[in-house]
Amino acid sequence: MCGIVGYIGNKDAFPILLKGLHRLEYRGYDSAGIALVSEERKNLNVYKTRGKVADLEHFVESKDISGTIGIAHTRWATHGEPNDINAHPHYSQSENIALIHNGIIENYAVLKEELLRKGYTFQSATDTEVLVQFIEYVKDSNHTDLATAVHLALSQIVGAYAIAIIEKNNPDFLIAARKSSPLVVGIGEDEFFLASDATPIVEYTNKVIYLDDEEIAVIRREEGLKITSIENVEKTPHIQELSMNLSQLEKGGYPHFMLKEIFEQPRTLLDCMSGRINVEGNNVVLSGIFDNQEKFRKAKRIVICACGTSWHAGTIGMYLMEEYCRIPVVVEYSSEFRYRKPVIYPDDIVIAISQSGETADTLAAVELAKSHGAFIYGICNVVGASIPRATHSGSYTHAGPEIGVASTKAFTAQVTVLTLMTLVIGKVRGTISEENYLKIAQELLKVPAKMEQTLQLNEQIKEFSKIFTYAKNFIYLGRGYNYPLALEGALKLKEISYIHAEGYPAAEMKHGPIALIDAEMPVVVIAIKRGMYEKVVSNIQEIKARKGKVIAIITEGDEIVKQVSDYYIEIPDTEECLVPLVASIPLQLLAYHIAVTKGQDVDQPRNLAKSVTVE
Catalytic residues: 2, 610
CA distance 354 to 385: 10
- The interface region with ligand AGP, picked from 100-108, 110-118, 403-411, 416-424 by CB under 6 A, is 403-411
- The interface region with ligand AGP, picked from 54-62, 81-89, 100-108, 401-409 by CB under 6 A, is 401-409
Q: Measured at CB, which residue is nearest to ligand AGP?
A: 308
Please, what is the minimum distance in Å from the beta carbon of residue 491 to ligand AGP?
A: 6
Site for ligand AGP in 404-463 (CB under 6 A): 405-407
- The interface region with ligand AGP, picked from 90-98, 225-233, 301-309, 365-373 by CB under 6 A, is 301-309
Q: Is 351 in the site for ligand AGP (CB under 6 A)?
A: no
Query: What residues contact 612, with CB distance under 8 A and at least 6 apart?
Result: 1, 307, 356, 358, 359, 360, 361
Half-sphere exposure of 504 toward its Cβ, with a 13 Å CA cutoff? Answer: 19
Query: What residues contact 509, with CB distance under 8 A and at least 6 apart?
Result: 475, 477, 539, 542, 543
Backbone angles phi, psi at 306, to 5 degrees: -170, 175
Q: Is 584 in the site for ligand AGP (CB under 6 A)?
A: no
Binding-site size for ligand AGP (CB under 6 A) equals: 16
- Of 129, 495, 575, 576, the one binding ligand AGP (CB under 6 A) is 495
Q: Is 588 in the site for ligand AGP (CB under 6 A)?
A: no
Residue 398 near residue 268, CB atoms below 8 Å: yes
* For ligand AGP, the closer CB: 147 or 591: 591
* For ligand AGP, the closer CB: 74 or 354: 354
Site for ligand AGP in 307-336 (CB under 6 A): 307-310
Half-sphere exposure of 152 toward its Cβ, with a 13 Å CA cutoff? Answer: 16
Which of these, 250, 185, 256, lies nearest to 219 by C-alpha position?
A: 185
Please, what is the minimum distance in Å from the beta carbon of residue 311 to ligand AGP?
A: 8
CA distance 221 to 232: 20
CA distance 149 to 217: 14
Q: Is 354 in the site for ligand AGP (CB under 6 A)?
A: yes
Q: What would the x/- binding string for ligand AGP be over residues 80 to 99, using CB under 6 A? A: --------------------
**Nearest-5° angle of CA 483, CA 488, CA 493?**
130
Q: What would the x/- binding string for ligand AGP be over residues 360 to 399, using CB under 6 A? A: --x-------------------------------------
CA distance 89 to 48: 7
Q: Is 590 in the site for ligand AGP (CB under 6 A)?
A: no
Q: Is 612 in the site for ligand AGP (CB under 6 A)?
A: yes
Q: Is 600 in the site for ligand AGP (CB under 6 A)?
A: no
The 10 Å Cβ neighbour count of residue 504 is 22
Q: Where are the alpha helices (DSSP H) in 198-351?
A: 257-263, 265-273, 287-290, 293-298, 308-325, 334-337
Query: What residues contact 511, with CB distance under 8 A and at least 6 apart?
Result: none
Please, what is the minimum distance in Å from the beta carbon of residue 291 to ligand AGP?
A: 24
- Strands 348-354, 301-306: pairing kind: parallel
Please, what is the minimum distance in Å from the beta carbon of residue 608 to ligand AGP?
A: 6
Which of these, 177, 205, 182, 180, lies nearest to 193 by C-alpha position?
A: 205
* For ligand AGP, the closer CB: 395 or 611: 611
* For ligand AGP, the closer CB: 129 or 495: 495
Please, what is the minimum distance in Å from the beta carbon of residue 615 to ligand AGP?
A: 12
Half-sphere exposure of 358 toward its Cβ, with a 13 Å CA cutoff? Answer: 32
Please, what is the minimum distance in Å from the beta carbon of residue 114 to ligand AGP?
A: 35
Q: What is the binding site for ligand AGP (CB under 6 A)?
A: 307-310, 354-356, 359, 362, 405-407, 495, 608, 611-612
